[in-house]
Structure 1
Amino acid sequence: MRVPIVPAIALSRLLARVTVTAILVVATVLATPAAWAQGGSRAAIATIRDAETEAMIRAFLDPLLGAAGVDRRLVQLTLVQDRAINAFVTQGNRLVIHTGLIQQADSAGELAGVLAHEVGHVAGGHVARLPEEMRAAMLRTIAAMLIGAGAGVAARSSDVAMGMMLGGQSSAMGELYAFSRNQEQAADQAGMVFLDRLGWSGRGLERLLRRLLDQELLAAARQDPYFRTHPLSRDRLEFVRDQIGRSRFSDVSVPAALETRFAMVRAKLIAFIDAPMVAWRRYQNDNSAAGRYARAIAQFRSGRTDAAIEILDTIIREQPGNPYLLELKGQILFEGGRPLDAIAPLSAAVRLAPGEPLIRIAHARALIERGDQAALRQAVTELRNAVQEDRDSGFAWAQLAVAYGRLGDLPNAELAMAEQAMAEGDTAEARFRAARAERGLPPGPARLRATDLRNVVRRDNLTRDQRRAEEEILRRDRNR
């Protein structure tokens, strides 16, 4: 499991909630501890990439999207490491899920209920409509402020101005709150329909809403973001209860296989995110696969590689076809200082899950450590397959550059570094690396790609800051 730290400013567009209740709540979402440090300064946001967690969420999400008639490829996932319960959809139909939603859910049914609700937002086109409402609310608020300021000057009274400004803002925000409340109710209704089409109970959503409504009297700082970004009301809870009462699937749980996968991922996240001792105490008397999974990870994080492998092997013997167990075994061995031993389990994991780019990347890292020409060429193959599935993985491109560099293929190494820079939004570095690659590559697809990257932003369109960045890169290169 990888936890890249991404600057909050780089995720501002991603996390600028567009299904929230009001402009003020956008600030609330971005002002959670994961996004802001004390005093209002920007902090780092941790986004998690984990093949097993993403596959588990997809196992719930894709059937719901199918029930809604939405193409699964239209919805992208982002996992944010934050213990608070939250999930929301942003522009571009990106579903952002806090790890706390999984860590604190009592059952797979709660996750299914939340995902059904979010699919309701996607299917209803709410995300596409809200920016218009937000802009209108902003204009009404600004207009009220200008009118209030003018009235205050005329009356020579700051109280008059403040009263009119707050009144106008309250009116604008009230309209936006009403719009969002309607969205939430519509998403609940659609989500319950989708759950019914799959034959899954909606009791999970009902339990979560009931638990969150208990936070009404808590101070805002102690409330889960889900409470603040999804307007909750007794009416919503009563509606969900009424729909459950009408459904013939009200007592039908999600499929047992999904419940098992959910339990494994929840244990994994708790063991990786919480302190090892916390996970150990929680699962010390739990001999289920999930309980042993958590204990194995706790041992690994405590530096006890052999003890972790011993526990993990008991689960692998029971589930020999589970690629994620083999992936974790490879990770434990690799990070435990035994990269050559990691190759076999990672190779087996790739065979079981050839479509998982994250597993291919892990396998390639171990092959790079082996270092011989055959292993390096195999690493290049693995990484090229990985970036075909996930072109935005800067880490994969960086590893590909390392593999090419160790093979002595410097032009392709430069091209991979250009792709890495492009994935990470560093246009100046991408153009610089692409130009170097272009000079060394023979005619063909790779050279054409280098040309495309070099020309992705013409120099006359660069901003002053981009020009300075490019000049600094060129200066550093000359001094090497």
Structure 2
Amino acid sequence: MKHMIVAAMILFFAAPLPLAAQQRGASFIRDAEIEDTIRVISTPLFQQAGLSPAAIDVYLINDDSLNAFVAGGLNMFLHTGFLVSTTDIGEVMGVIAHETGHIEGGHLAARKAEIEDLKDQLLATYVLGLGAAILSGNPGVGTAATLATQDAMLRGLLRYNRGQEASADQAAVRLLQGAGYSPSGLLDFMKVLHGQEALLSSSQDPYLRSHPLTQDRMTYLAESVQESPYRSKPFPPDLVERYQRMKAKLVGFLKPMHIVESQYPQSDASIAARYARAIAQYRNGSIDIALEQIEALIQSEPGNPYFWELKGQVLYENGRINESIPPYEEATRLAPDSALLRIGLAAALLQLPGNDLVPSARDHLYEALKQEDDNPTVWRYLAIAEGRLGNTGLAALSLAEAAWARGNAKETRDQAERAQKLLDNGTRGKLRAEDLQRFAENELKKKKN
């Protein structure tokens, strides 16, 4: 997964920003913990469909509406409004199974020509923010930006006919039961949407407008639930806990304090509730209270990398850079495979004066690139690191990579030419700069023609 802020959520199309700022205008978010949770939930469903989990990118859209959709083939988009509105993990799993059914059924293939016509407009500007209070870009998410914000696109490219919806329902039931789960969650979510059918289209959630309901669909799902051998089987406790923390994190970061306090009152001593309240205190500017509550969470689960990440975020976002480094390092030590955590740590290290820790920041960025090699933000940070270490040729090459990842052919060409003048002949960097210049010039010719 490509596919909330300094550890947790972040906005895209901006410089490092706190989550509060993201709320005011962001549309997409990246979060290491939430992405991992969605991946754990969806992997058995993808596998049941014969799809490689690694081939499917799942994107989170910061939007209050109830919506989820697939676009451009193997891209799945989930609105935070949908995730927050769910009452149990079964609903999340059910909707993901349904959308997987659309992918498996090739329902977007019939729209391929239309999508191709709009490719330049919709696909070339994908940019996602990256966790750890660092904004990050990622080509591929621009599609979501346009599709998610323009209702006309949802009614057009993303609208399925009733036959496709029935087919996706059948696939969802099969995938869920193949993974050992009841389809009851999908039925529960459809009941919520069913209650909106009498509303004017403008008042309905986008999911209902792009996924038309019929009584036959409701009847089929109800019968499937009744006949399911997993009807009374509970979900694994660890999976339920992951879901509850994901929802609590979203509520804590995205909802007003009074909603957080209503959904997670002080009387609720669960980890999820404490998590939501700590995040809400941070967002509310009560930093000392937030840090105290986060510290209590760490004491409860010292091996949880996301609690350490949140502590680093709060300190980083409040200018306490030196203090943020140890918790970021601990988060990365506990989850060394998380590119988002490494990027957050590297960003903090680069904020420190002097160059003693710049090599460490550079090492973390190169590790992150193994998963995020089309992420402009990683390349920009790497350019800073190489520049501070006196590697001007590699800094220019990194800027060329960042520009290429953003889809800026002219800047790519210019930085690649600069890199070639600074790098030694025959080196890997020089050869890559030559390739980038050639790629960029080809793109510029296409646009000119």
Instruction: Percent identity, please.
Output: 38
Equivalent position to 1:248, from 223, 226, 229: 229
Q: Partners in 2 of 1:463 and 1:123 — Cα distance? A: 34
Q: What is residue 194 of structure 1 aligned with on the other side?
A: 175
Matched, 1:81 2:62: yes
Q: What is residue 278 of structure 2 aligned with on the other side?
A: 296
Q: What is residue 155 of structure 1 aligned with on the other side?
A: none
Cα 1:393–1:199, aligned 2, differ >3 Å: closer, same or farther?
Answer: same
Instruction: Give the RMSD, CA atoms, in angstroms.
Output: 2.5
What secondary structure does 1:77 align onto? strand
Q: Partners in 2 of 1:48 and 1:103 — Cα distance? A: 14
Cα 1:343–1:253, aligned 2, differ >3 Å: closer, same or farther?
Answer: same
Cα 1:313–1:92, aligned 2, differ >3 Å: closer, same or farther?
Answer: same
- Within 5 A, what are the aligned runs for 1:251-290? 251-285=232-266, 286-290=268-272
Equivalent position to 2:96, from 108, 115, 125: 115
Using CA pairs under 8 Å that are at least 6 residues apart, name the structure with larger relative contact order, 1 or 2.
2
Structure 2 unaligned segments of length 5 or more: list them.
Answer: 15-23, 117-156
* Cα distance, 1:132 vs structure 2: 6.0
Q: What is residue 426 of structure 1 aligned with on the other side?
A: 408
Q: Is the 8 A contact 2:69 2:158 kept in 1?
A: no
Q: Which has the larger radius of gyration?
A: 1
Q: Partners in 2 of 1:190 and 1:392 — Cα distance? A: 33
Q: Is the 8 A contact 2:281 2:289 kept in 1?
A: yes
Matched, 1:315 2:297: yes
- Within 5 A, what are the aligned runs for 1:136-285? 180-285=161-266
Q: Is the 8 A contact 1:6 1:44 kept in 2?
A: no
Q: Partners in 1 of 2:294 and 2:444 — Cα distance? A: 54
Q: Is the 8 A contact 2:409 2:443 kept in 1?
A: no
Cα 1:292–1:448, aligned 2, differ >3 Å: closer, same or farther?
Answer: same
* Cα distance, 1:133 vs structure 2: 9.3
Q: TM-score, normalised by structure 2?
A: 0.82
Q: Partners in 2 of 1:379 and 1:233 — Cα distance? A: 54
Cα 1:318–1:460, aligned 2, differ >3 Å: closer, same or farther?
Answer: closer
Structure 1 window deviating more from structure 2 (50-59 vs 176-185): it is: 176-185
* Cα distance, 1:206 vs structure 2: 0.6
Matched, 1:445 2:431: no
What secondary structure does 2:161 align onto? helix
Q: Is the 8 A contact 1:93 1:127 kept in 2?
A: no
Q: What is residue 11 of structure 2 aligned with on the other side?
A: 4
Counterpart code for 1:362: G
- How many pairs are equivalent? 392
- Within 5 A, what are the aligned runs for 1:44-83? 46-83=27-64
Residues 11-43 of structure 1, C-alpha deviation per residue, up to 9 Å, x if partnerless? xxxxxxxxxxxxxxxxxxxxxxxxxxxxxxxx9
Q: Is the 8 A contact 1:271 1:298 kept in 2?
A: yes
* Cα distance, 1:373 vs structure 2: 2.8
Q: Is the 8 A contact 2:383 2:396 kept in 1?
A: yes
Residues 260-296 of structure 1, C-alpha deviation per residue, up to 9 Å, x if partnerless? 1111111111111123443234323222111111111
* Cα distance, 1:131 vs structure 2: 3.3
Residues 410-435 of structure 1, C-alpha deviation per residue, up to 9 Å, x if partnerless? 22221111111111111111111111
* Cα distance, 1:405 vs structure 2: 2.2
Cα 1:375–1:464, aligned 2, differ >3 Å: closer, same or farther?
Answer: same
* Cα distance, 1:350 vs structure 2: 1.1
Counterpart code for 1:290: A
Q: TM-score, normalised by structure 1?
A: 0.77
* Cα distance, 1:51 vs structure 2: 0.8
Counterpart code for 1:426: N
Equivalent position to 2:345, from 360, 363, 373: 363
Cα 1:454–1:291, aligned 2, differ >3 Å: closer, same or farther?
Answer: same
Q: What is residue 129 of structure 2 aligned with on the other side?
A: none
Equivalent position to 2:384, from 396, 402, 415: 402
Q: Partners in 2 of 1:427 and 1:371 — Cα distance? A: 33
Structure with the higher fraction of residues in helix conformation: 1
Q: What is residue 330 of structure 2 aligned with on the other side?
A: 348
Q: Is the 8 A contact 1:303 1:336 kept in 2?
A: no
Counterpart code for 1:223: Q
Residues 110-135 of structure 1, C-alpha deviation per residue, up to 9 Å, x if partnerless? 00000111111112222223436999
Q: Is the 8 A contact 2:31 2:340 kept in 1?
A: yes
Counterpart code for 1:390: E
Cα 1:134–1:460, aligned 2, differ >3 Å: closer, same or farther?
Answer: closer
Structure 1 window deviating more from structure 2 (412-421 vs 368-377): it is: 368-377
* Cα distance, 1:457 vs structure 2: 2.8
Q: Partners in 2 of 1:309 and 1:116 — Cα distance? A: 38
Q: Partners in 2 of 1:253 and 1:237 — Cα distance? A: 22
Q: Partners in 1 of 2:409 and 2:174 — Cα distance? A: 45
Structure 1 unaligned segments of length 5 or more: list them.
Answer: 8-42, 136-175, 467-480
Q: Is the 8 A contact 2:160 2:210 kept in 1?
A: no
Counterpart code for 1:198: A
Equivalent position to 2:73, from 81, 92, 114: 92
